[in-house]
Structure 1
Amino acid sequence: MNGGSDLTNGRRTFGPFILTANERLLTRHGVPIELGARALDLLIVLTSKPNQVLGKRELLARVWPDVTVEEGSLRFHMAGLRKALGDGQDGARYITTLAGQGYCFVAPVHDEGAKVASPLLTTGAQHANLPVRLSRMIGRDRDVETIAAELTQSRFVTILGPGGVGKTTVAVAVAHVLKEAFGGATVFVDLAMLTDANLVATALSSMLGQPVQSQDATSALVSFLGPQRILLVLDTCEHLLDTVASLAAAILDGAPGVHILATSREAIRIEDERVYRMDALACPPDDSELTAETLQHYPATRLFIERATASGAKLDLDDESASLVAAICRKLDGLALAIELAARRIESHGLQQTASLLNESLTRLWLGSRTAPPRHKTLQATLDWSYGLLSEVERSVLCRLAVFVGNFTLDAALDVATSAEIDRASVFNAIDSLVAKSVLAVRPTGAMTRYRLLDTTRAYALDIPLDRAEKAAISRRHAGYYRRWLQQTEEEWRSLTTGAERQPYFAGLNNARLALEWCFGEDGDVPGGIALAAAATPVFLAMSLLPECQRWSQRAIQALDATSGGGLEEMQLQAHLGLSLMYTSGHGEAPRAALERAVWIAAANGDRLSEARLLGPLFFYHFRCGDIRMCMQHARRSVDIAETLGEPGASALSFTLMGICLTVTGEVGAGLEKLDRAIADAPATVDGWSIHFGFDAYRWNRLAHIMALSLGGRTKAMREAVDGAFRDAIAKDHPMSLATTINSTAALLLVGAVEAAESHLNWFVSRAELNSLQPYLDLGRAFRAELAIGRGDLNYGVTELTTQLGRLDAARFRLFTVRLRCALARGLLQSCRAGEALAVIDETLRQIETSGQRSFLPEAMRIKGNILLSEQQDFAEGERCLNAALELSRSQGSGVWELRAATDLAGHWATQHRLGDARHLLRPVVLSFADEEEMPDLKAARELLVSLENRP
C-alpha cells in the first residue's frame, strides 16, 4: 500500500469481518473479500480511527501520499468499499458521510493491537433519546451545518441566543445530523426541568441508565463516560451555569470521546467552550416595493406563512398583505417562537387584527404547541424565565433601558440608567451581564457597538410597575442625554449625504422624538422639552423633515413664557419655524414674522454673529418673494456686521448676498466680482462654509454664479457649473438642493439646453412631491409649461403656465414669476394673441419696477418690442423697445439678452431694407460668442447673419 508504513498493521474485527492489515486481507465469516488496493487502503485508514471524522484531504494524503488526485477518485473507491462491505444492507452501517466534513467508520471495531477502539453505547441503544427532529426547519440549515462542523472539531459548543430564537430546535437537528457519527450514542437532557443544581449529574446519570450509588455523582459519571464515544446535548443551561460548567469541564477532561452540545442564554465560560451565537431569522426590510413573492426569500416570513397555513389559515397573499406579514415578523424581531405563536392566530383573527394585537400585552399569553416545554408554551413564559434569571440590579437596569426605542450606545445607556441608587460601575456590569444572558442584543455599527432590546423584551420590561417619580426621572435623563447628543452632532448632520451615512444616526433621532413626546405630554418636562426642541429642529431641517421641524418648533414656542422667551432657544425655534413654514406653506406673514423675530432676538442679545447668519434665511425669504429691494437692505446690513466681526464665514455670507442682489438687479459684472470676493474671503474648504439656520451660503454662491454666467452668455463655464451643482444637489438631498436644481433648470432653458433642463426638472418635481413642498411643486409645473411653450405645445403651455402663475402669486413665491411671465407673453404672441401678450408684458414691466428684478428688463423690453412689431401694430414704438433692450443688455453685461435683442432688431431692419445696418449690428455680437457652445439663439443669429451677408 502506498504510504502504508504509517498505518497500524494489527488484526481488526468488526461485524462479520476480519481485517489483517499487514497481510492486506479482508475476510467475511472466514471467506476472503476481493477488494481493490485503494479501497483496502481506505478501509485500513478508516478502521484505524473508528468513530472519528476523517476529512477528505487527510484521506487523500494518506492513501495517495505521492500523487495529486481529484476528489472524484476518492468518492469512486469509497463507493466500491461500501458495496463490498454491504453497507446499508439489512440495517448494517459501517461508513457514514458528513456533508462538508468527511467520512467516519461508525461500526464497533476491536483492534487486537489496541486497548479500546469501539464505543460501548452502540447504535440503537436505549440512550438514543433525541426528540423528533422537525420535518421542515426554515432558515437554519447553515446554522446546523456550521455547528455540526465546530462540534466535531472542538468537542464542546454552546448555542447562545435569546429565548424563543430556536436554540433547542437547532440543537436537536445537529444531534440528528451527527447521530450516525456517534453510532447512535446521543443523549438529550432538558435541564429546564431542574431547579436544584445538585441534581444535574444525577439526572444525566439517570439518562444514561447508570445507578447513583455515592454522594459524588460527578466522579462516577465521568468514570462511566471515560471509554465512551457519545454526544451529550445539554439543553437550557442558563439557570445552572456554575454546575454545568464544572460538570462539562470534568467530562471533557476525563472522557476524551465525549462531545457536548449545550444551549443557553449565557455562555458556560470554560476553557474548551466554543460559542455559536444564533441570530434571529432574517426579515424583509421596510420596503414599499415588497411583493408576495419576495416573502419566500426571507426565513422569518416563510416560517410565518408555513405555520399560519398549517394552523388552518387561508392566506391569499397579495402585495398589500405581504407588507403586513413582513411588518409582523419585523415587530417580532424574527424570533421563531414569537412568529409561530402569532401565525397560529391568523386563522381566528386574520392578518390585520393579528398585527394590531401585537401592540397589546395579551399577545404574550397566546398558547403555542401542546408538546412545547413549559417555558415555550407562551411568550410570557419565555420572558418570565429570562427575567427570573436576573439579579435585582439587572432587573432595575433592564427597566431603565426599556425607555430607549431601537438601538442605543453604551454612553446613552450609562447616562440614562445611572442614578443615586445604582452607580455607573454597577450599571456597566449589569449591561455586560444582560448581554451575556442574551437579554440585551449587541449590534456592531461600524466602529461603534450599539445595544438593543428586542421589541418583545422591551414591551415586557415597560409593563413592570415602577414608581411614578422613578419613571419620570428615567425619562428626564433620557431627554437630557438626547438633547446633548443633538447639540454635539448638529454639525455632523449637515455633512451627511447618503442613506448609509445617516443610518447610524436614525436611532438617536427616534429616541429624540420619543423624548419630545414625553416632555410635552402628561407628567412631562416642558422646560426640558423646549431645550430639546431647540436642539432637534436644526436636525429635522437638515434631514428635510420639514413637518416635524414645524410641529416641534411651534409646540415649543407656544410653551414659552416671560422667563423662557427671548433667549437663544427661542431664536433657534423661531428661525426653524420660519424656514419650515416657508418651504411647506409659502411666503405668508407667519414665516416672515418668525424669521424677523429670530433676527431681533439675536440683535437684542448683542449676538452679532447669529444676527449675521440669520440674515441669510431672512434674505432668502424676500428673495423667494421676489422683493429684491428688501434683499438689498439685508445684504447691506450683513456687510456692515461682517466688517465689524472680521469672521471669514460672516464675510463670505455678506459678499454672497450682495453678489446675488447685484446680479438680479442687472449689474452682472459687479455681481460676479462680489461672488468671487466671497470665495476669496471664505474658509479654506467647502466644509468650512457651514450651513447656519438652513442657509447654505456656498451653494447660493454657486447658484448666483450660474445665474451670472448664463446671463453673460458664458455657456461653457455655465454648463460645467450646472453639472457640478446638480451632482451636489442629488448627493445632498436637502430642500436647499431644490433651489440648486431649479436654478440650474432656469439657466439651461435660458441657453436652450432643453434635454438637460428637462432631466433636472423631472428630479426637481419628484423631490418636491416626496417632501410635500407645494410651492416648489407649483414652480416645477410652471417650468414644465415654459418647456412646452418652447417646444411649440402652445395650448397646454399657455393654459398651465397661467394656472401656476396664479398659484405662485397666491403663495408669494415670486422669485421666477418675472421670467415665467416673459415666457407666457411669448407663448401668447406665438398663439396670435398679441393683445393678451401685451397686457402680460406690461404687467411684467410693472413687477420689475416694483421688485427691482432688473436683470430681466432687457428681455421684457425685447418681447414687448416684438409684440408691437407684430401685425404692424406700432413699428416706431416696437423698434424703440428693441433698441432699449439692446442698450440695457449691454449696460448690464447680459450677453444672452444682447444676442436676442440684436438678432430681432437686425431681422426687423432687414425687412426695412437696412441690410448694412443689420450686418453691422449683428456681426460683432455673433463673433463675441466664438468660443462658446452652440445654442439655439446663437444658431438663429448665425443663420440670419449668413443670410444678410449673402444678400446684395
Structure 2
Amino acid sequence: MTLSPEQAIHFGPYRIYPGQRLVMEADQPLRLGRRAMDILLILLEHAGNVVSKQELIAGVWPKSVVEDINLRVHMAALRKALGDGQNGQRYIITVAQRGYSFVAPFSLEHIEQHPANEAPAPNGHNLPVRRTRMIGRQSLVDSLVFQLSRQRFITLIGPGGIGKTTVALRVAEQLIGRYRDGIRLLDLAPINDPSMISAHLATLLELSLHDTDPMSGLPAFLRDRQMLLVIDNCEHLLDAIAVLSESILRAAPDVHILATSRESLRAEGEFVQRLESLDCPPPIAVLDRAQALTFSALQLFVERAMASHDSFELRDDELPQAIEICRRLDGIPLAIELAAAQVGGLGVGGLLTQLQGSFRLLTQGCQTTLGRHQTLHATLDWSFELLSACEQTCLRRLSVFRGGFTLESAAAVIVGEHIEPCEVFGSITQLVAKSLLNVEVGDEEVFYRLLDTTRSYALEKLDQAADLPGTRERHAERCLALMHQAQQDWELISTATWIERYARSLEDIRAALDWGLDALGPQTLAIRLTATSTPLWQEMSLLKEHGVYVRKALALLDAAPEPCPRLKMALKLALGSACYHTHGGTAETVEAFVSARTLARHCNDVAGQLRAVSGHMAVNLCCANYQMALEQSQQFDRLGLHGDEVLSLSTHRLRVLALHFAGNQEQARVNAEEVLQRMAQSGHLNRFTHGFGVQYDQSVAALTILARILWLQGRPEQAWNTARQALDIAIQINHGTSICYTLALAGCLIAHYNGDTRTARELLRQLLEQAQKHSVLLFYTWAMHYAQVIDHTELRSSLLPGEGLIKDIMVTLDTGFVDDDLSQRADTGMAGWNTAEILRARAEALLAQECPLNTDAAEALLIRALNVANHQGALAWELRSATSLAQLWQRQGRHRQAHTLLAPIYNRFTEGFATPDLTKVRRLLDELQRHVPA
C-alpha cells in the first residue's frame, strides 16, 4: 500500500502518522530512533509481503554501505520498543533466508486532525529513546506521575534487576513537556567519587561551577528553575546524594527529584516507593492460558522468549512450567529476561530443569527461599555457565567499559590471550541474544552496553580470573586511539558532530585515567591519554576536572627516570589553556606556557614553540601587558614556519591582536584585512590550529579584532556589521568559547558604544549564558563587570574594578572607573590602545572636583589624549578627547577655539551619525556655532 500523509495506520495499541513520522501509543508519543522509524514505515508500506534484507538496507541506508548486522540490530530494537510478542501478538516476523514481514492486522483511518507532535525541543531533556516495552508497571507509573506533583522527592527502591530504572525513565517520559526547564537524567553508575557528582550534574545542566564549594553553586543555579532531575543508581553514593538533594529542594521550590536506589537515601523530604516483583500466577491455582497471561511476570517471559526465538509459541502443556520458572525467579524482570533468552536452545522444560538444578545446589541446607539479590546472582551464575569459554571471556573483559561502546572498541579490548579477532563478533551476537549485553541503536552507529548489575557481576569474574590488569591496559589503549582520532577530527568537523561522536567516551576515559594514574596502573599510557584527551575536556566544559588529571600526570612524569620532553610539553600546553580559561593570567598559567616553550626549544619543535609563545602572548594581552605581547609576536618571524600555512595564518592573526592592543591601529587594520584575504583564498579549511594558544575559530577571532579596529578608526557601522558577522559564524559552528570571545571583545561593547542598549543587553545575557555553559570563567567575570554599565546592575560595590584588559575596557564604558594604577600605566606608555581614554578620564575626574587649580592640568591631559589618539589612528578616542576639551573651552567662553578644534574631527566621520558620541558632538557644534560671530 502507499502510505498517505492524510491517513493513519492503526495496529495493536499504536497509531502511525507517516507524514509526521510519529508513533502514538494510546495518547503518548513513542520515541523511536530515525532508522527504526524508517524500517517500520517500509514494512508497513509492504504489509503482508516479505521485504528482503537488501531492500530494507537500500531504503534505510541509501547512500551508505552497511552490514546485515546493522539491520538486525535496528530490527531487534524496533521489535522491543513495540513490545512485539506481548500477549502473543506478533507484528513483525523473520522469514528464513528471505527477509522480514509485517503480519499484524491493521486498519487505515482518515486523519481529521493531526495530533500535536509532543517531541520536545532539543534541550528539553536527555532521556534515552525507549528500547523495551514496559510490562506490568503502568499503574505504578501513573501513580508516580501523579505523586511527583505533590511529593517533589521520590526514591524508587528495590534489589538489582527489579526494574527501577525502567520505571523511572517511563515516569520521566510521560512528564516530558510538563516542566518549563526540562528533565535531566543523571546516571551515577559510572561515578565512584562523591566529589564528582556536582561536576557531572553541572555538565548536564550546562552550568559552570566557579565556587570552591561546588555543592553551593548547584542549588543557587536551580533556584528559579522548574525541572525534574532523575538520579539513577544512587546506592553507592547515598550520603552525598542525600545532602545534594536536600540542598536543591530547599533552594529550588520548583525542582522535583526522582531517584532510584537499592535502599532509601534517608534524606529530608524523601518519599520512598518500593518496587515489588512482577506478578506471578499463584502456585495452587489452575489457570487457563488467557488467565495466566494476565500476570506480568509471565507476559514478560513470553515476550522476551519470542523476541529471542522467532518461532517460539508457548504451548498449553508448557504453561505450568513457564509459571514455575517465573516463580523460581521471584518475578525479577532481569532474571526472567536472562532465562527467556535461553528458551531457543533449551526449550521451556529444559530451561526449568536447568534452573532447578542450579538453584538446588545454591539452597542445599537452607530451608528458606533465596533472597531476591541471591536469586538474581544465581541466575547470572547460571547464565554465565551456559556460555562458551570464549563468550565468558568476552563478557568478563567487556565489564571494564563504563559507557556505551562500538563493536570496534569491544574487539580492541577483548582480543588478546585466548581470543582471536574473528571470534569477537559471534560472541557479542550471542551475548546480545542471551540478554547479557544491551544494544543501543543510534541513528548512525550501534553501541553496546552492560547493565550496571551485569557489569558488576562480570567485573568480579574478571578479577577472579586474574585478567583485570591486562584488560584495563587494552581499554586504556583503546581510549588513547579514540582520542588520537578525536584530535584529528577536532579541526575538521563541527562541534555538535564532534561531541556526538566522542562525548560518550568520557566515562571510559575517566575510568582509564583513575586507574592508570594510580600507582597500580600503566602510568605512561595514562599520561599520554591525559594529554591526548585535552580537546574532549575542553569541549565538554570540564577544564577544572582535566586540570586535576593534568597536574597528576605532570607529577608522575617529573618523577619518571626518563621523562619525555614532548609529552611534558603537551601537558604544559594543556595546563596553560585550562588555567587561562578557568583562572585567567595566574602565575601557574604563565609558568605552564613558559615551561612549554623551554621544552619545545629543547626538542627543536618549532610548532610547539609557536604554540607556547602564542599562549603566553594571550596571557599577556589579558593581563594588559601589551608591549610584551607585541615583542612576543615578533618572535614568530624569528622562529620560522617552514611552509606551514595554517600556523603562518595563526601567527599573522596574533600579530594583528598585538598591534591593535599596543595602539597601532593603521598597521593592525592592514594586517587584519590581509589575514581575512588569505583565509578566503585558502578556503579556511581548518577552523582551529590544534593546541595553538587558546582555541578560537580563526575567522571569528580575525573578524572580532577587525571590528574593534574599525570602531576605533571611526567606522561604527562597519564595526557593528563585522562584529555581527563574527558572532553569526561562531553561532553557526556552535563553538562556545568562540561565541564568548567575540561577544566579550566586540559584540557587547560595540552595541553599547553605538547606543543600541537593547541589543547590548541581549548580547550581554548571551555572553553570561555561554561563559557559564562552557566554563569560561575569564569571560564570565568580564560579563559581570559589563553588567555594571550595560545593564545598570548594582554591582559596583560588590565587584572589584577588575585587573588587566578588562580594567582598561571598563574605563571606555564609564570614566568613573579610572584610578591611580591606570593613570600610572598611561603615563609610562604601558596602556597602549587605551591611553587616550585613561588620560581623558583623569581630566574628567579633575574637572568634576570644580577646583580652578585643576583646570590647567585637565586641559593638558586632554591635549595629550588628543595627540595620542591621533598618533595611534584612533579617531573614536580623538573625537571623545576633543569633545571633552571643547566642552571645557565652552565653559571658559572660548567658543570659536572649541568649534575650530571639534568641527574638523567630526567632519572626518562618514558614518555612524546616530551614535551617542557623534550625536553629542553635533549638538555641541550647533551650540558653539550660535556663539561664534559670523
TM range (shorter): 0.5 to 0.7
Q: What is the distance in 2 between the residues matched to 1:924 and 1:596? A: 48
Does structure 2 conserve the Cα–Cα contact (< 8 Å) formed by 1:584 and 1:772? yes
Distance 1:597 1:819, change over 3 A: same
Partner of 1:889: 869
| Deviation of the 1:591 alpha carbon | 1.6
Residues 564 and 761 of structure 1: CA distance in aligned 2, closer, same or farther (over 3 Å): farther
Counterpart residue type for residue 899 of structure 1: L
Preserved CA contact (<8 Å) 2:703 2:725: no
For the 8 Å contact 2:81–2:131, the answer to whether it is kept is no
Cα offset, 1:444, TM superposition: 4.5
* Contact persistence 2:91–2:103 (CA under 8 A): no
The one-letter code sitting in structure 2 at the alignment partner of 1:908 is L
**Aligned counterpart, 1:40:** none
Shift of 1:651: 2.2
Report the Cα offset of residue 631 of structure 1: 1.2
Matched, 1:533 2:443: no
Q: Does the 8 A contact of 2:49 with 2:101 survive in 1? A: yes
- Deviations 1:73-105, CA, capped at 9 Å, x for gaps: xxxxxxxxxxxxxxxxxxxxxxxx99999xxxx
Please name the residue that 1:766 is paired with.
769
Matched, 1:845 2:823: yes
Corresponding position: 1:786 with 2:741: no
Deviations 1:6-65 (A, max 9, x none): xxxxxxxxxxxxxxxxxxxxxxxxxxxxxxxxxxxxxxxxxxxxxxxxx999xxxxxxxx
Pairing 1:921–2:901 present: yes
**Once the two structures are superposed, what CA deviation does each residue of 1:479-528 show, in whole Å capped at 9, x if it has no partner?**
10110111122132355555465223222233222222232347422221
TM-score (norm. length: structure 1): 0.63
Question: Cα offset for 1:751?
Answer: 3.4
| Aligned pair partner of 1:690 in 668, 688, 695 | 688
SS in 1 for 2:448: strand
C-alpha deviation, 1:910, in angstroms: 3.1
Counterpart CA distance in 2 for 1:816 and 1:853 is 12
Query: For residues 632 and 491 of structure 1, do their structure 2 counterparts lie closer, same or farther at Cα, with a shift above 3 Å needed?
Result: same
Say yes or no: does 1:647 pair with 2:480. Answer: no
Shift of the 490–923 alpha-carbon distance from structure 1 to 2, 3 Å rule, reads: same
Letter in 2 for 1:690: F
Matches of 1:594 and 1:928, distance apart in 2: 46
Contact kept, 8 Å, 1:702 with 1:725, in 2: the verdict is yes
1:451 match: secondary structure = strand
1:613-662 C-alpha deviation (Å, 9 max, x unpaired): 221111111111111232123212123113x5332223223322222222
Gaps of 5+ in 2: 16-25, 53-71, 105-117, 174-229, 243-256, 266-272, 282-296, 298-322, 342-382
Q: Which runs of 5+ in 1 are unaligned?
A: 1-54, 58-69, 72-96, 102-135, 176-260, 278-282, 828-839
> 1:820 pairs with 789, 798, 810, which one?
810
8 Å contact from structure 1 (residues 818, 848) kept in 2: no
* 1:153 equivalenced with 2:31 (yes/no): no
Asked if 1:355 corresponds to 2:261, the answer is: yes
1:364 to partner: Cα distance: 14
The whole-number CA distance in structure 1 between the counterparts of 2:777 and 2:73 is 55
Letter in 2 for 1:171: G
Deviations 1:176-201 (A, max 9, x none): xxxxxxxxxxxxxxxxxxxxxxxxxx
In structure 2, the partner of 1:910 is: 890
Distance in 1 separating the partners of 2:548 and 2:400: 23
- Cα deviation 1:909-934 (Å, max 9, x = unaligned): 33333333333222222222133452
Matches within 5 A, 1:449-848: 449-467=446-464, 469-494=466-491, 497=494, 499=496, 502-521=499-518, 523-560=520-557, 561-642=559-640, 645-680=642-677, 684-693=682-691, 694-696=694-696, 698-730=699-731, 731-744=733-746, 745-787=748-790, 800-801=795-796, 803-806=798-801, 808-809=802-803, 814-821=804-811, 823=813, 825-826=815-816, 840-848=818-826
Q: Deviations over 1:274-303 (max 9, x none)?
A: 4899xxxxx999999679xx99x9997997
Q: Distance in 2 between matches of 1:156 and 1:647?
A: 54
Bigger shift: residues 473-482 or 752-761: 752-761
Contact preservation (8 Å) 1:405, 1:511: yes
- Number of residue pairs the alignment of both structures matches: 696
Q: Could you say which residue in structure 2 is the equivalent of 1:866?
A: 844
Q: d(CA) in 2 for partners of 1:628 and 1:159?
A: 59
Give the match's secondary structure for 2:749. Answer: helix
Question: After superposition, what is the alpha-carbon deviation per residue over 1:322-357, rounded to whole angstroms, capped at 9, x for unaligned?
Answer: 7979x99784499999x9xx9xx99xx999785245
Q: Please report how far the alpha carbon of residue 686 of structure 1 lies from its aligned counterpart in structure 2 after TM superposition.
A: 2.8
**Between the two proteins, what is the percent identity of the paired residues?**
22
Query: How far 1:418 sits from its partner (Å)?
Result: 1.2
Higher CA-based Rg: 1
| Gap change, CA 1:900 and 1:429, over 3 Å in 2 | same
Q: What secondary structure, in the 3-state scheme, does the structure 2 residue paired with 1:804 have?
A: coil
What SS class does the counterpart of residue 396 from structure 2 fall into? Answer: helix
Residue deviations 1:792-832, cap 9 Å, x none? x6xx66xx3364335x34xxxx11212324655437xxxxx
SS in 1 for 2:629: helix
State the shift of 1:431 in Å.
2.8
The CA distance in 2 between the partners of 1:599 and 1:141, in whole Å, is 52
Letter matched to residue 279 of structure 2: S
Residues 707 and 356 of structure 1: CA distance in aligned 2, closer, same or farther (over 3 Å)? farther
Using the TM superposition, give the Cα deviation of residue 845 of structure 1 relative to its aligned residue in structure 2, in angstroms.
1.9
Aligned-pair CA distance for 1:603: 0.9
Determine the structure 1 residue equivalent to 2:279. 369
Cα pair distance change 1:769/1:271, threshold 3 Å: closer
Secondary structure in 2 aligned to 1:450? strand
Distance in structure 1 (CA, Å) of the matches to 2:121 and 2:612: 38
How far did residue 710 of structure 1 move? 1.5
The Cα shift of 1:549 comes to: 2.0
Distance 1:272 1:485, change over 3 A: closer
Could you tell me which amino acid in structure 2 is paired with residue 905 of structure 1?
A: L
What is the alpha-carbon distance in structure 2 between the residues aligned to residue 269 and residue 478 of structure 1?
38
Q: Is the 8 A contact 2:743 2:767 kept in 1?
A: yes
C-alpha deviation, 1:937, in angstroms: 0.5
Partner in structure 1 of residue 369 of structure 2 = none
> SS at the partner of 2:447?
strand
Q: Which amino acid aligns with 1:893?
A: G
Contact map agreement 1:538 1:576 (CA 8 A) in 2 = no
C-alpha deviation, 1:594, in angstroms? 1.5
Query: Following the alignment from structure 1 to structure 2, what is the Cα–Cα distance between the partners of residues 168 and 542?
Result: 36
Higher relative contact order (CA 8 A, sep 6+): 2
Distance 1:826 1:395, change over 3 A: same
Report the Cα distance in structure 1 between the residues aligned to 2:30 and 2:120, rounded to whole angstroms. Answer: 20
- Asked if structure 1 preserves the Cα contact closer than 8 Å seen for 2:479 and 2:508, the reply is yes
Residue 354 to residue 943, structure 1, CA distance change in 2 (3 Å) = closer
Cα distance change of structure 1 residues 850 and 314 upon mapping to structure 2, 3 Å threshold? same
Partner of 2:62: none
Q: Please report how far the alpha carbon of residue 755 of structure 1 lies from its aligned counterpart in structure 2 after TM superposition.
A: 2.5
1:477 CA displacement: 1.0
Distance 1:931 1:160 in 2: 60
Alpha-carbon distance, 1:665 to partner: 1.9
CA distance change for structure 1 residues 869 and 315 in 2, over 3 Å: closer, same or farther? closer
Q: Distance in 1 between matches of 2:893 and 2:770?
A: 52
Query: Can you list the C-alpha shifts for 1:349-371, whole angstroms capped at 9, x where unaligned?
Result: 99978524599xxx999743232
Deviation at 1:723, TM superposition (A): 0.6
RMSD over aligned Cα, in angstroms?
5.1
CA–CA distance in structure 1, aligned partners of residues 82 and 719 of structure 2: 67
Distance 1:905 1:496, change over 3 A: same
Task: Measure how far apart 1:412 and its partner are.
Answer: 1.2
Cα distance in 1 for partners of 2:73, 2:409 equals 30
Task: Report SS of the residue matched to 2:800.
Answer: helix
Aligned position for 1:37: none
- Range with greater deviation from structure 2 (551-560 or 857-866): 857-866
